């Protein structure tokens, strides 16, 4: 036993003296603790801190002043220091959801050292936890058959690049002979081919929807829509550089016109249905923009289109053949009767008016689409909802 403990300590590569002491200094600190009544208790051992706060998306948002006007930001709550030098805060009862949070210690935003479940969102890291029940059970890993998730590279001849994508194949794909339909799932600005897996919980949502019979087994292809990048930060020869939000060429038509490279790669390398009725495309924000433009550029490619909180029109100064003659292209696309054109947005989304205008255009022309509106704004909570509502509508006939 002593030998095992020796192995234990010497293998804890990145554990400081402080953390090691915690290993033999009594019961380890638990944070977050999800209590039986679905309140959540956060704890942080910080004997010398003057002020500790928790900030996260379960707290009411606050307004902050910025050079660009008043904006919403996650709220913060003060934690209380106990005699044991452990700061603590317990939430009200929380609804089922995947939540994120950070601590703020004397003004310094940190992650919770007691919680290894962390997710990168662009250039920040936050902790996550899940309150189960209702829809949030779709976001959990459950005891159901699991698909495979592969990070893979493909050639994109139209831009002469090797690029990385993430592929979810459903349980049973490798063993059978069946041909599967494909959902192409696109991220928003600042995201990459990891975003839908991390904050989107795509593999969990797909496993759970397929296991319950609510979704058809399908392949999900998550691309990188930043055409100036080969792959997510840290995954290219650019090295371990800080991720950048404002990348060049994200919405200039290049990614859209290179998209057939992705479809060709998938259809050459996977056992898939190679017709319009076997292909869907959807994306969030910039990925909704890409989905809208790709699907109208290639009106015979996709029978299912999903715009999640989509940006709609290109910035005024961007020139690309992709963004010309939009009305005529939409006429062609809708003339071919796509099986589903689905638009979803939250009432508080800053893109709400742009989506309303776009729907008016569709209405004025009698183009068929389905509209889903819910609360809140431009947040991952909504995109998980949209994905889990959209997927069951795909490939059902």
Q: By rule CB under 8 A, what count of residues binds a copy of itself? A: 116
Other C-beta atoms closer than 10 Å to the C-beta of 265 total 19
Our CB check for a copy of itself shows the closer of 140 and 339 to be 140
Which of 40, 43, 59, 74 binds a copy of itself (CB under 8 A)? It is: 74
> Pick from 30, 80, 332, 370: which binds a copy of itself (CB under 8 A)?
30
State the CB neighbour count (10 A cutoff) for residue 190.
19
Side-chain-facing half-sphere of 305: CA atoms under 13 Å: 30
Binding flag, residue 188, a copy of itself (CB under 8 A): yes
Q: Which residue matches tokens 């290894």?
A: 116
| Closest separation in Å from C-beta 245 to a copy of itself | 5
- Per CB under 8 A, contacts with a copy of itself among 194-233 are 199, 233
**Residue 57 Cα to chain centre, angstroms:** 15
Would you give the binding string for a copy of itself spanning residues 243-272, x where CB under 8 A is met? x-xx----------------------x---
Q: Name the residue nearer to a copy of itself (CB basis): 132 or 299.
A: 132
Q: Rounded to a whole number, what is the distance in angstroms from the first to the last CA of the chain?
A: 60
Nearer CB in complex with a copy of itself: 85/158: 85
Is residue 4 part of the contact set for a copy of itself (CB under 8 A)? yes
Shortest distance, position 194 Cβ to a copy of itself, whole Å: 11
| φ/ψ of residue 386, rounded to 5 | -65, -40
The two structure tokens encoding residue 341: 């054109």
Q: Which residue in this structure is represented by tokens 């990459």?
A: 192
The binder of a copy of itself chosen from 130, 266, 330, 340 (CB under 8 A): 130
* Residue 43 in contact with a copy of itself, rule: CB under 8 A: no
Nearer Cβ to a copy of itself (270/369): 270
Q: Which two tokens stand for residue 279?
A: 């292909």
Rounded CA gap, 220 and 210, in Å? 12
**Residue 18: alpha-carbon gap to chain centroid:** 34
Rounded to whole angstroms, the Cα distance separating 41 from 35 reads 7
For 180, 240, 241, the CA distances from 232, given in Å and listed in that order, are 27, 10, 11
Nearer to a copy of itself, 148 or 337 (CB): 148
> Would you count residue 119 as binding a copy of itself (CB under 8 A)?
yes
361 is an interface residue for a copy of itself by CB under 8 A:
no
In the complex with a copy of itself, the residue whose CB is nearer, 284 or 322, is: 284
| Range 268-307, binding a copy of itself (CB under 8 A) | 269, 285-286
Burial class (CB in 10 A: 0-12, 13-18, 19+), 376: middle
Q: Draw the binding track, 51-70, toward a copy of itself (x: CB under 8 A; -: no contact).
A: x---xxx----x-x-xxx--
Q: Is 160 in the site for a copy of itself (CB under 8 A)?
A: no
Question: 196-201 long-range CB contacts below 8 Å, 24 or more apart?
Answer: 196/166, 196/220, 196/222, 196/387, 197/149, 197/166, 197/222, 198/119, 198/120, 198/121, 199/119, 199/121, 199/380, 199/383, 199/384, 200/380, 200/383, 200/384, 200/387, 201/98, 201/138, 201/139, 201/384
**Least gap, CB of 360 to a copy of itself (angstroms):** 19
- Residues 317-356, mask of contacts with a copy of itself (x by CB under 8 A): ---------------------------------xx-----
Please say which residue, 140 or 359, places its beta carbon nearer to a copy of itself: 140
392 binds a copy of itself (CB under 8 A): no
């Amino acid at each position: 036993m002593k030998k095992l403990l020796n192995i234990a300590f010497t293998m804890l590569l990145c554990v400081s003296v402080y953390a090691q002491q915690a290993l033999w200094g009594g019961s380890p600190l638990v944070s977050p603790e999800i209590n039986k009544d679905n309140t959540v208790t956060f704890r942080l051992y910080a004997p010398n801190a003057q002020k500790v706060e928790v900030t996260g998306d379960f707290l009411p948002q606050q307004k902050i002043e910025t050079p660009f006007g008043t904006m919403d930001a996650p709220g913060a709550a003060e934690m209380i220091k106990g005699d044991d030098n452990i700061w603590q805060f317990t939430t009200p009862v929380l609804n089922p959801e995947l939540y994120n949070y950070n601590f703020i210690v004397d003004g310094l935003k940190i992650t919770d050292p007691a919680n290894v479940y962390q997710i990168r969102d662009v250039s920040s890291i936050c902790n996550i936890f899940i309150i189960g029940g209702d829809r949030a059970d779709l976001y959990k890993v459950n005891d159901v058959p699991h698909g495979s998730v592969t990070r893979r590279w493909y050639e994109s001849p139209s831009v002469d690049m090797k690029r990385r994508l993430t592929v979810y194949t459903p349980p049973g794909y490798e063993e059978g002979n069946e041909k599967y339909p494909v959902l192409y799932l696109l991220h928003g600005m600042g995201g990459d081919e990891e975003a839908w897996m991390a904050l989107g919980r795509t593999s969990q949502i797909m496993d759970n929807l397929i296991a319950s019979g609510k979704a058809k087994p399908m392949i999900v292809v998550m691309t990188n829509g930043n055409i100036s990048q080969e792959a997510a930060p840290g995954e290219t020869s650019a090295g371990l550089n800080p991720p950048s939000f404002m990348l060049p060429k994200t919405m200039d038509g290049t990614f859209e016109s290179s998209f057939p490279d992705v479809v060709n790669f998938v259809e050459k390398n996977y056992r898939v249905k190679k017709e319009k009725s076997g292909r869907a495309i959807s994306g969030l924000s910039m990925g909704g923009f890409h989905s809208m433009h790709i699907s109208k550029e290639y009106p015979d490619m996709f029978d299912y289109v999903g715009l999640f909180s989509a940006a709609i029109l290109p910035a005024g100064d961007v020139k690309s053949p992709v963004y010309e003659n939009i009305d005529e292209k939409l006429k062609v696309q809708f003339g071919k009767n796509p099986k589903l054109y689905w638009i979803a947005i939250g009432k508080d989304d800053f893109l709400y008016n742009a989506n309303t205008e776009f729907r008016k255009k569709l209405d004025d022309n009698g183009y068929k689409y389905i509209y889903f509106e819910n609360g809140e704004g431009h947040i991952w909570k909504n995109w998980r909802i949209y994905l889990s509502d959209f997927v069951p509508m795909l490939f059902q006939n």
